[in-house]
Homo-oligomer: A and B are copies of this chain.
């Protein structure tokens, strides 16, 4: 087991990464002696619920709440229902919520913890690779509006994160790959050694070798924790984490969040943004080729259909854009990234068309 620490202006908490971590949760000091509530999905609970429950003593058994799978349930209506269930079950300010599932469970569960009685403590126990390397660290929580993803939310850090490598053994293949795209992103924007590791070890990583996965997860979380420590509220450096996200979010919106997994949309977004980086020469042709090949090594990237106009409009509504400017993240070589404020519609259009030509058939 490895332990990293997330330290920000407002929070300081451990992230545990390793095998057989579910068994350790009840002994954690954030849990001991408190009334615990678990928010999970029926699918995860069927696979791993017994393991989690077995670790709790008989008189400390948690109350389990369920959120159905799917992005369409990441809405305020579910917050209303779940908060009512918490209230009915007697949850109070000293209760603890355990968000046990993928990114949607983590985002919505964190927001539920942020707003129930104006904030209760919670743990992140992410069960997808994407959630382990990305959304469980950094304190961003939230739900979607019909008009956009994560438009409602809070900053609310967990008391601890448990990234159990074992639970990844039951992760569907395409979800594993989708999570690995975020780790590649971590390498591209800030950790050249991680990028090289993923470039050279795709076979053992995709075969779910525990040591290889742990290596990737530790490096990915270390990168993100380092960025969040410097810029908790995304006023500067944290924006580089959005590499691939402007167009990735646009793809998700244009396809109704149904066709692609988040990580897959981000992978397409990274490839498209790479074309702008190449044209602006923030990456050289060899670097662009290595980035593209490494992303594709963790493919396939599923096909999707959208029009340039749809994607451009959706990119314009991205909440990362301030009024009047179009902000965009570009890789700068491998292991670094920059924020440009002057990306034009023409540049985006060109990158979007390049991407859509490939997206019809998938990569």
Contacts and interface: CB of A to CB of B under 8 A. Distances in A.
Given A79-B76, A145-B87, A146-B84, A321 B92 contact: yes
A92 B323 contact: yes
Interface string A114-146: 111111000000000000000000001010011
Nearest to A321: B92
A134 B191 CA distance: 50
Contacts of A114: 154
Contacts of A140: 118
A69 B116 CA distance: 24
Chain A facing B: main interface SS: mixed
Interface in A301-327: 317, 319, 321-323
Contact of A323 (B84, B94, B111): B94
A25 to B, nearest CB: 21
B116 A151 contact: yes
- Which of A76, A84, A88, A322 gathers most chain B CB within 10 Å? A76
Question: Which range contains the number of A residues in contact with the other chain?
Answer: 35 or more
A186 to B, nearest CB: 22
Given A83-B145, A145-B84, A155 B118 contact: yes
A35 interface: yes
A152 interface: yes
A59 interface: no
A147 B88 CA distance: 8
A203 to B, nearest CB: 39
Nearest to A114: B154
A94 B320 CA distance: 11
A93 interface: yes
Contacts of A88: 147
A90 B323 contact: yes
A323 to B, nearest CB: 6
A153 interface: yes
Contacts of A321: 92
Contacts of A322: 92-94
A80 B118 contact: no
B152 A83 contact: yes
A155 B154 CA distance: 11
A115 B119 CA distance: 13
A148 interface: yes
Given A77-B80, A84-B146, A87-B145, 17 more contacts: A35-B323, A76-B80, A80-B145, A80-B152, A83-B145, A83-B152, A84-B145, A87-B151, A88-B147, A90-B323, A92-B321, A115-B142, A117-B319, A118-B142, A118-B150, A118-B154, A118-B155
18 contacts: A75-B80, A76-B76, A77-B80, A80-B145, A83-B152, A87-B148, A88-B147, A92-B321, A92-B323, A94-B322, A111-B115, A114-B154, A115-B142, A115-B154, A116-B151, A117-B151, A117-B153, A118-B154
Which are the 5 A-B pairs with shortest beta-carbon distances?
Answer: A118-B153, A87-B147, A76-B80, A76-B76, A115-B152
